[in-house]
């Protein structure tokens, strides 16, 4: 016979079905009624305000902690102590050394060459020059290059170049050269008027005495507006600066430099009444104003 269909009780029916029998002596708890679910309330405006204030306080605290510690205040007493310590523990260059260093990059060696009857090229003269325009314009003495068939200059960095005589001022024994090849970053020497130059001012001579150099010697201005007559050609030079910094053959055409590192003259002659032609303490330089005019530059 067909079995009768049995239906599973519904969820509501299951709730009414009796549960399993309780253990002896234990009373089952009464069924708990269904509790309604709580809904989360959105924060109030006052709560949001307090939260924002708290975040701002935390941010300000973090920024304050990140502030660098202020440096200690530097007083004049501390500066004086540091300068004194430096002077006591380090050897500073002399004023003459600083002056020579300022102009040295602009000093060149000048060589004059000639040919013998057999066609061999020989060294005829050696002197010094100074760059006054960074395009390779060089001042030297006229007697250094006079009669040379070829002129060569050697710059401070070792660059060698041919040079042409582009100007001359015989009355002041000055010549202007133009180098054909220039080194990188060529520097022109700073020039200064002789208007405030006085006897006793410190000066430095830079050049190639007897081809040795560059060499520097220091001394003072001995006098101004001196006159010198060349024992060789009988030419008279006037308005010269007299100095006592050592100069010898080969220094001709080199710069006479103040202790501030500025060129005030072009070394042109030394006085020696003997045939030795060496320095005995009297040298002469053409004022830079005259030299600037030889190069076509406006006087100071």
Active centre residues (catalytic): 143, 173, 252
Cβ within 8 Å of residue 4, ≥6 positions away:
none
Cα angle 98, 161, 217 (rounded to 5 degrees) comes to 25
Cβ within 8 Å of residue 127, ≥6 positions away:
109, 110, 112, 140, 141, 144, 145, 207, 208, 250, 251, 252, 253, 254
In DSSP terms, 263 is beta-bridged to 191, 257
Separation between Cα atoms, residue 208 and residue 129, nearest integer Å: 10
Instruction: Read off φ and ψ for residue 211, nearest 5 degrees.
Output: 80, 0
Instruction: Read off φ and ψ for residue 27, nearest 5 degrees.
Output: -90, 120
Secondary structure percentages of the chain, helix, strand, coil, to 5: 25, 30, 45
Separation between Cα atoms, residue 72 and residue 79, nearest integer Å: 13
Question: In terms of Cα–Cα distance, which of 298, 286, 299 is closest to 130?
Answer: 286
């Amino acid at each position: 016979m067909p079995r009768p269909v049995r239906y599973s009780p519904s969820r509501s029916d299951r709730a009414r079905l009796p549960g399993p029998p309780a253990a002896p002596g234990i009373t089952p708890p009464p069924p708990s009624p269904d509790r309604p679910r709580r809904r989360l309330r959105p924060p109030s405006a006052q709560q949001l305000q307090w939260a924002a204030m708290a975040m701002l306080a935390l941010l300000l605290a973090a920024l304050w902690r990140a502030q660098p510690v202020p440096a200690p205040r530097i007083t004049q007493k501390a500066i004086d102590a540091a300068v004194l310590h430096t002077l006591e523990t380090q050897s500073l260059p002399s004023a003459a050394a600083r002056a020579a260093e300022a102009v040295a990059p602009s000093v060149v060696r000048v060589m004059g060459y000639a040919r013998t009857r057999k066609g061999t090229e020989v060294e005829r003269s050696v002197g010094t020059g100074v760059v006054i325009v960074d395009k390779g314009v060089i001042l030297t003495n006229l007697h250094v290059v006079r009669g040379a068939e070829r002129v060569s200059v050697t710059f401070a960095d070792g660059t060698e170049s041919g040079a042409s005589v582009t100007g001359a001022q015989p009355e002041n024994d000055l010549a202007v050269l133009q180098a054909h090849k220039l080194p990188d970053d060529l520097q022109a020497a700073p020039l200064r008027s002789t208007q405030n130059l006085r006897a006793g001012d410190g000066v430095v001579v830079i050049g190639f005495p007897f081809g040795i150099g560059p060499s520097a010697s220091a001394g003072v201005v001995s006098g101004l507006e001196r006159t010198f007559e060349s024992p060789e050609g009988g030419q008279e030079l006037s308005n010269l600066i007299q100095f006592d910094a050592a100069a010898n053959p080969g220094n001709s055409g080199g710069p006479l430099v103040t202790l501030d590192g500025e060129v005030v003259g072009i070394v042109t002659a030394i006085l020696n009444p003997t045939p030795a032609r060496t320095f005995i303490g009297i040298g002469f330089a053409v004022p830079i104003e005259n030299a600037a005019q030889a190069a076509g530059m406006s006087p100071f």
